[in-house]
Amino acid sequence: MKCNERNCLWCAWRAATGPENDPTLCCGHPSSQVRHRFGGCNTAENCKAYLRDDPGLKIKVKRDTREMLMKGIHQMVVDNGQFQSAEAILDYFSPDTYDSPKEITCDDFYVVTEVQFGGSEGIYLDCYAEGRIQPECEKKRWHLGTYKTLETSLSAMQTLGALTYFASEYLWENGERFLSNRDLRIRALQKRQKKEEAEKS
């Protein structure tokens, strides 16, 4: 969230006490900007991005693990009728079953794929989530799964490569389940705030 108003209760509170004691949600000002621009008497009403948290607000969302993400992308390929040609040449499809981290709770990543020849046989399509898949995780490549064919032809490589189209489609259609808990909370509070404002008008 961003705020262009001079008077912002969140900024004033953080400048005085630090973020760990703040009862509101962040408006987006970095610490240097807080120190430079904000001070004196501040009121929350003047900050359009101000949101007061509600401890009683419960957020429910379906989460994916890495295995579920890979299976979800694969199922979308099947449902769209694009798997027959790959299935005809496939040796195996293996989603990653590692459970660390257990769930994806951050959307700061994108799916990348690598199609390459195996060391001794066939062609492999490896799928990764590149970036951060939990707010506290480091940015890196997280393995999602592998497709393998024993064939080595150009058409086989093209067939496997075509499967990657549906990765971005899956992320687009299921974007909410990859948002952080904080972003989901902000979205819910903003939605409720708009509803309350509409009822008043």
pLDDT in tens, 45-100: 444 455 667 777 788 889 999 999 999 999 999 999 989 999 999 999 999 988 77
Residues 127 and 78: their CA atoms lie apart, in Å, by 17
pTM: 0.71
Go through the chain and tell me how many residues it has: 201
* Per-position b or e across 34-46, b if 16+ CB within 10 A of its CB: beeebeeebebee
Return the percentage of the chain with pLDDT > 70, whole number. Answer: 74
Cα–Cα–Cα angle for 39, 42, 43, rounded to 5 degrees? 160
Mean pLDDT of 107-133: 92
pLDDT in tens, 7-51: 455 555 555 555 444 444 455 555 554 444 444 434 334 444 556
- For the chain, what are the domain ranges? 1-53, 66-178
**Distance (Å) of CA 87 to CA 20, 77, 83, 159:** 52, 11, 6, 10
